[in-house]
Amino acid sequence: MTVLPQEVIRRKRDGGALDDAEIAAFVEGLTAGRVTDAQAAALAMAILWRGLSMPECVALTLAMTWSGTVLAWDLPGPVLDKHSTGGVGDTVSLALAPAVAACGGFVPMISGRGLGHTGGTLDKLDAIPGYRSQPDLGSFRSVVAEIGCAVIGQTLDLAPADRRLYAIRDVTGTVESIDLITASILSKKLAAGLDALVMDVKVGSGAFMAHLPDATALAERICTVANGAGLPTSALITDMDEPLASVAGNALEVAYAVDYLTGRRREGRFHEVTVALGAEMLRLGGLAADEGDGRELIEAAVANGRAAERFARMVAALGGPNDILEHPTRHLAAAPVVRAVEPAGPGKVAAVDARALGLAVVALGGGRTHPDQAIDPAVGLTQLAGIGQEVGPGAPVALVHAPDEAAAARAVETVRRAYSLADIDVASAPLIRGRWTPESR
């Protein structure tokens, strides 16, 4: 019996439950091109409003997983990965993958483009000249086997249904659905053939989940579906009430990751999240006896330069420059206009609207408002002041990197409004706000 896309949309719109065959048919039509963008957007909105049951979510995840190739590996170590639900100034993947590889793990990290106000790892990699962020599967396999990590985007072979739906969700206001987030993330990870996965679920003003109960529900949903599908998965719920790093923007975040790996800059918040996630990856993959052991291993890999060496080899192997560590500014684009954002008056940063900062980067050209939009890799924000930091005359809350003066002026106002100041000391929220492990079920 033929399953009509419009009937699937109508059933979910009216609160009905979709069976496996309906979900499989819709995903197959999405992959083949028979389902239009409008129909995919309509179903995404219906799912956002009505939700999916656990069986529906599992069925959607598996249908998108098997819409393309599913990898299998034969490597002398565990195949591990981490995924963030998205934030501002979150370039952890570029540092974490090589650090875990330096500890004996193999990390075939399949990343996405930016969604809404959040930056995408794939867009950051595309800021590196020559870097093949979507290589063929043969090249992907060989780089992972030889170097221990390869951070890429979805190839045409891996979860193609998700790749199409991901772009549609970005521009139709359907990003925040827990069910769609779960299916999108896990379809890519299951297709990558992982032995274990660690989720970084963000919570706060710069996250899709602004409140802890929602972030906790998302972590539990993803972990439950993943473990039910045979993929050992744990999650850390981490703070995004301010940018994780002091930069936001694609080339700027690549430069930041290089500075972190080489030791030129080691900011505390960014380092703590990187180490915590790496420790959990090593523990879950059997490379560390416990969290403390894992932390020591990741700390050592970053401190002794082995993580930086793996990053440099990965970039070169995937077509990028072979001197990215030594000369990042030689290869990364720079914006022609840089303007300081002076606060309205002196004070200490009491709160940051991180989402507004992410949208400022999008408005500068560093993100998308429609699926096929080209991104300007050079634009963004640097020297972002953190909570508790003193600002005022001569101590701006940020620097705007813009394509022209008009865009800079608009961004300056947006960024200024994103900061709230106070006369008293204000402490940042704890970085690790929660944890979900298979043992905690």
- Among residues 61, 65, 84, 177, the one annotated as catalytic is 84
8 A C-beta contact, residue 240 and residue 354 = yes
Which H or E run contains 32? Answer: helix 20-32
- Among residues 117, 163, 188, 355, the one annotated as catalytic is 188
- Among residues 67, 155, 177, 184, the one annotated as catalytic is 184
Annotated active-site residue 84? The verdict is yes
Annotated active-site residue 234? The verdict is no
Q: Is 72 exposed, middle or buried, given 0-12, 13-18 or 19+ CB atoms closer than 10 A?
A: exposed
Annotated active-site residue 111? The verdict is no
Q: How far apart are CA 379 and CA 376, in angstroms?
A: 6
Total number of residues shown for the chain: 441
Annotated active-site residue 428? The verdict is no
Give alpha helix (H) positions in 103-211: 121-125, 137-147, 160-170, 178-191
At 181 the three-state DSSP class reads helix
- Among residues 12, 67, 82, 339, the one annotated as catalytic is 82
Q: What letters, b where the CB count within 10 A reaches 16 and e where it falls short, cover 85-119?
A: bbbbbbbbbbbbbbbbbbbbbbbbbbbbbbbbbbb
Which H or E run contains 360? Answer: helix 354-361
- Among residues 117, 132, 163, 169, the one annotated as catalytic is 169
- Among residues 121, 177, 187, 382, the one annotated as catalytic is 121
- Among residues 124, 132, 164, 189, the one annotated as catalytic is 189
Terminal Cα-to-Cα distance of the chain (whole angstroms): 40
Closest CA to 382 of 263, 259, 291: 259
Strand runs (DSSP E) across 171-244, as ranges?
Answer: 196-203, 233-239
Annotated active-site residue 139? The verdict is no
Annotated active-site residue 435? The verdict is no
Q: What Cα–Cα distance (Å) separates residue 194 from each residue in 108, 189, 279, 377? A: 8, 7, 17, 30
Annotated active-site residue 169? The verdict is yes
- Among residues 83, 163, 310, 331, the one annotated as catalytic is 83
Active site residues per annotation: 81-84, 121, 169, 184, 188-189
